[in-house]
Amino acid sequence: MKSFPARIPDFLEISPSKNPSYVLLPLPFDSGSSRPGSRKAPAAILDASQSIEWYDETVDWNLEKLAYQTRPPMMPKKGERPRAYLDRVRAAALGVYRRGAIPIGIGGEHTLLVPLVEALAAGRADKQFSVVVFDAHSDLRESFDGNPWSHACSTRRVAEMGIDATMVGLRSLLPEHRAAGARLIFPEDIRNGSWKMKLGEIERDVYISIDVDVLDLGIMPAATNPEPGGLSWD
């Protein structure tokens, strides 16, 4: 089954800019989740964006004012090893960044966090930025089933780069992950308000990564690795 329709819709149905500030990279990668299907997410996200208003009332901003470009999907090649695909993603994101635009990856499984952060780290030699990951899982394993490039290891790879990392909405981890080098914010921290103090420790530019399983299953039943007790939209 193909992951993309014959015509790829532009994000929010906004006409692509020749000099974009933001470049969307559809990344239909799906190699290790317990339930396959995340490869279909980029097409579904772009399709759903066609029905969303450009104006965001929360921040009082018209998204049409931003210069976007939606790239063709980066399809995995037959027989391609995961790290080889991730290297292609890294090169594409770094190319976007060096041309003065912000790369926005649309996955795909959360392993994709690694090459996108690698690209930003390569483009900013001082590494003076933080990564905030909204995720039900810590993804702080050394390896998973012998694979260091598993979706279960993505935040660990980021922390190993020496980059400040924060997990938000976390509700699945191992005891040793508390000392694995990332700031941890649990749903109870959000309910009692202490998350504000923890996020207040971040004093750098922020790269945000969102895994849909951070949300409650009633909102996001399609999560490939579901966990109970997720966050609401609010």
Output the domain CATH number for residue 155: 3.40.800.10
Question: What is the average pLDDT across 184-194?
Answer: 92
* pLDDT band per the 50, 70, 90 thresholds, residue 46: very high
Q: Are residues 202 and 134 in the same domain?
A: yes
Q: Are residues 154 and 194 in the same domain?
A: yes
Cα(134)–Cα(108) distance, integer angstroms: 15
- pLDDT at res. 177: 92
CA 192 to chain centre: 26
Last residue of a domain, one of 91, 125, 159: 125
What residues pair up with 231 in beta bridges, in sequence order? Answer: 215
Q: Are residues 52 and 106 in the same domain?
A: yes
One DSSP character per residue, the chain reads --SS-SSPPPGGGPPPPSS-SEEEEEE---SS-SS--GGGHHHHHHHHGGGS-SEETTTTEEGGGS-EEEPPP-PPPTT--HHHHHHHHHHHHHHHHHTT-EEEEEESSGGGHHHHHHHHHHHSTT--EEEEEE-SB----S-BTTBTTSGGGHHHHHHHTT-EEEEES--B--GGGGGSS-EEE-HHHHHHTTHHHHHTT--SEEEEEE-GGGB-TTT-TT-SS--SS-B---
Share of the chain above pLDDT 90, in %: 67
Predicted confidence (pLDDT) per residue in 105-136, tens digit: 999 999 999 999 999 999 887 778 999 999 99
Q: Are residues 108 and 186 in the same domain?
A: no
Q: Are residues 91 and 116 in the same domain?
A: yes
Angle formed by the axes of helices 82-98 and 113-123, nearest 10° = 40
Q: Are residues 120 and 131 in the same domain?
A: no
Q: Are 106 and 58 in contact (CB under 8 A)?
A: no
Asked which of 2-16, 100-114, 204-218 is least confident by mean pLDDT, the reply is 2-16
Q: Are 43 and 93 in contact (CB under 8 A)?
A: no
- Does the pLDDT at position 81 exceed 60? yes
- pLDDT at res. 140: 92
- pLDDT at res. 1: 43
Q: Are residues 109 and 180 in the same domain?
A: no
- pLDDT at res. 213: 93
Q: Are residues 108 and 161 in the same domain?
A: no
Q: Are residues 111 and 163 in the same domain?
A: no
Q: Are residues 36 and 143 in the same domain?
A: no
- Does the pLDDT at position 148 exceed 90? no
What is the count of structural domains for the chain? 2
Q: Are residues 83 and 159 in the same domain?
A: no
Give the structural domain span for 148: 127-234
Last residue of a domain, one of 108, 125, 142: 125
Last residue of a domain, one of 104, 125, 146: 125
Q: Are residues 114 and 22 in the same domain?
A: yes
